[in-house]
Chain A
Amino acid sequence: MALLEVTNLKQHFTSKKGVLAEKTIIKAVDGVSITIEEGQTLGVVGESGCGKSSLGRSILGLVQPTEGSIKFKGEEVTEMSSKQMKELRKDMQVVFQDPYASLNPRNTIRQILEAPLIIHKIGNKKERKERIESLVAKIGIRKEQLNNYPHEFSGGQRQRIGIARALTLNPKLIIADEPVSALDVSVQSQVLNLMVDLQQEMNLSYMFISHDLSVVQHISDKVAVMYLGRVVEIANVDELYSRPLHPYTQALLSAVPIADPLQKRNRIVLQGDLPSPANPPSGCPFHTRCPMAVKECASIVPNLEEKSPEHFAACIRV
């Protein structure tokens, strides 16, 4: 049984610009199905506005999903009472993008790390202290620094503290939303390496949301590519990066600048910008920018189909 099983999840938001304007429905997530196995990492990539963060937030229960099912260890999350949700949060934690905004500046690192333990009434004072001290040792922060405030740490250290906070309750799944995007490359690699080490040590599962294709390739076992609220392709990491099937994935991969001046490629440059999720194109959402689009693409909404073993793509042209 998969640790997390999401089926046909929809997350729609209504937005209203001005008093007299009509309500528009933004389909941030529009029928996404994914699974995450224990100890595995699912990478979710896509450009801004593709719904990758909304997907993470509705799985976490931070927003109430419009439709669909989320099963964690076989239990339906969407029907849980708030008491059950609180229990669930021990197993499902989050790491945010901005290490500056996600730590309370008025609390010391000790208070920040102790808060989850106090909320869930775990251990006495001494046990909590031991737990926190063993945690910070793992993330490479000294015990003496526990009484410092977030502003006394660098961006990379803060992000490690954010990871430690997510780990205090021994979760099974961590949803990391762009956890290294705000960091410089040398620090980014420190944090990525730490995440890999912790995963092996604690048998963690990650849902790793990022716009950076190379980072996702590095950390993931399986990768889902999103476009306008839908998963357009999903496969094992090596398969997806070596044989991308969906034209969007192909364009996305060819667009990444490679840090090697000798490597020349045929770049597929997509025309135009991402359409607004409030007013998505008919049929296949990608057909307006797709170099392979035919007439039918404007009317047929392609389903995610298994095109080769374990490799799913939503395109009628492949």
Chain B
Amino acid sequence: MLLNVNELSLSLKRAGKYSKILDQISFQVEEGETVGIVGESGCGKSMTALSLMRLLPEKALLEGEVNFQGEKISGYSKRKLEKIRGNQVSMIFQDPLTSLNPLHTVGTQIEESLLLHTKMTKKERRKRVLQLLNDVGLPRAEDLIDEYPHQLSGGMRQRIMIAIAMACEPQLLICDEPTTALDVTVQAQILELMNKIKKETQMGIIMITHDMGVVAEVCDRVIVMYAGKIVEEGPVLEIFQNPKHPYTQGLLDSIPKLGQRKEKLGSIPGTVPAPENMVVGCRFADRCSHAMDICRTVHPPMIGIKENHQTACWLYEEGDEKDGSIGSHKLEAALH
């Protein structure tokens, strides 16, 4: 196992009060596997990524365990953690323009992690940088190495970000909305590049996105988050074809799909609750058309629907494999 996250919780201080942003998140990433984390804004997907590497504001309260390659990195000192960041675990962020330093050349920025984490000579580093620029599909690497981020287009900048992340051949790559700021034809280029990298390396990838299309294209497994909790997890095909949690179903239903035109899109009424006034029971209950009494009082535990497919919803019981729609005896029982 590459990464094992166990009951990770995060509280941040907002307006003088701590509020829980993440609530007991547990998941695993295997070698060579791409795990997608999806959900709408404010569900905690980016905070999950930042918490793994402890890139958090000063007064953040982090609980739970993060194990990377069998080592408990959640207990590491800052110093020790820095040895892993950018070396064994790399990150790619959404906005390549703000994540690149405008004052340094592309070459210097890619070289930085090599300088920090390896004992390469200057010549070796330059060779590696040129090779990386080639690997991410950038032309005229020899010139590019001395150019500044503002001279490049959005797609090229994101390729530079990927080159920086790949510099030390990490075992785990965390991508936070890597294609959201890009145009669709450029997004297609970047997704193709990511799929190529995925095939060539045995790297584990965590792909954070709100775009179900991106998930369908690159992920092996999907984690659906809602209001700081994982509500469903399963193999990508299973999540798309047999979604169980009403939130996952609603999310998939509200996307207009290319090539299929329908009169009315599904939608989920209401909005995500704010972390300051989180409810006791299931956090989705207020927006859920299947909500029962128990949903408002007790939070549903994560249960296995079938192998590798889990959901946190009172509509189901352990090992409860049913067809896509909710419409079983249990729903009837709940209504009566």
Contacts and interface: CB of A to CB of B under 8 A. Distances in A.
A217 interface: yes
Interface string A112-137: 00000000000000000000000000
Interface string A207-236: 000010111011000000000000000000
A261 B216 contact: yes
Interface stretch (A10-18, A88-96, A182-190, A307-315): A182-190
Contacts of B324: none
Nearest to B187: A255
Given A185-B40, A188-B254, A214-B257, A258 B213 contact: yes
B213 A184 contact: no
Interface string A251-281: 1111111111111000101100110000000
Contacts of A56: none
Contact of B267 (A48, A190, A251, A267): A190
Contacts of B80: none
Given A251-B185, A269-B189, A214 B256 contact: yes
Contacts of A196: 264
Interface string A169-190: 0000000000000001111111
Given A192-B265, A251-B185, A258 B258 contact: yes
A47 interface: yes
Nearest to A197: B264
A211 B183 contact: yes
Given A187-B271, A269-B189, A257 B213 contact: yes
A276 to B, nearest CB: 9
Contacts of A154: 271
Nearest to B139: A272
B251 interface: yes
A178 to B, nearest CB: 13
A274 B188 contact: no
Nearest to B218: A257
A109 to B, nearest CB: 17
Contacts, number: 125
On chain A, which size bracket covers the interface? Answer: 35 or more
Contacts of A241: 258-259, 261
A258 B257 contact: yes
Nearest to B254: A189
Interface centre among B154, B155, B211, B268 (most CB of A within 10 A): B268
A237 interface: yes
A193 interface: yes
B187 A186 contact: no
A263 B257 CA distance: 12
Given A47-B183, A260-B216, A267-B188, A184 B40 contact: yes
A186 B213 contact: no
Interface centre among B184, B212, B237 (most CB of A within 10 A): B184
Contacts of A257: 187-188, 191, 211, 213-214, 216-217
A187 B271 CA distance: 8
B133 to A, nearest CB: 16
A47 B188 CA distance: 13
A214 B210 CA distance: 15
Nearest to A157: B271
A226 to B, nearest CB: 13
B237 A47 contact: no
B266 interface: yes
A256 B236 contact: no
A95 B16 CA distance: 37
Interface of A: 47-48, 154, 156, 184-190, 192-193, 196, 211, 213-215, 217-218, 237-238, 241-242, 251-263, 267, 269-270, 273-274
Given A269-B188, A269-B189, 19 more contacts: A47-B184, A184-B40, A189-B265, A189-B266, A193-B267, A214-B255, A217-B261, A241-B259, A251-B185, A252-B185, A253-B258, A256-B258, A257-B187, A257-B191, A257-B213, A259-B255, A261-B240, A267-B192, A269-B185
24 contacts: A156-B271, A185-B210, A186-B254, A186-B268, A196-B264, A211-B184, A217-B261, A237-B261, A238-B261, A256-B184, A257-B187, A257-B191, A257-B213, A257-B217, A259-B215, A259-B255, A261-B237, A261-B240, A269-B189, A269-B192, A270-B185, A270-B189, A273-B153, A273-B155
Closest 9 A-B residue pairs measured CB to CB? Answer: A257-B213, A255-B188, A189-B254, A184-B40, A259-B212, A218-B256, A189-B265, A47-B183, A186-B268
Interface of B: 40-41, 153-156, 183-189, 191-192, 210-217, 236-237, 240-241, 250-252, 254-259, 261-262, 264-269, 271
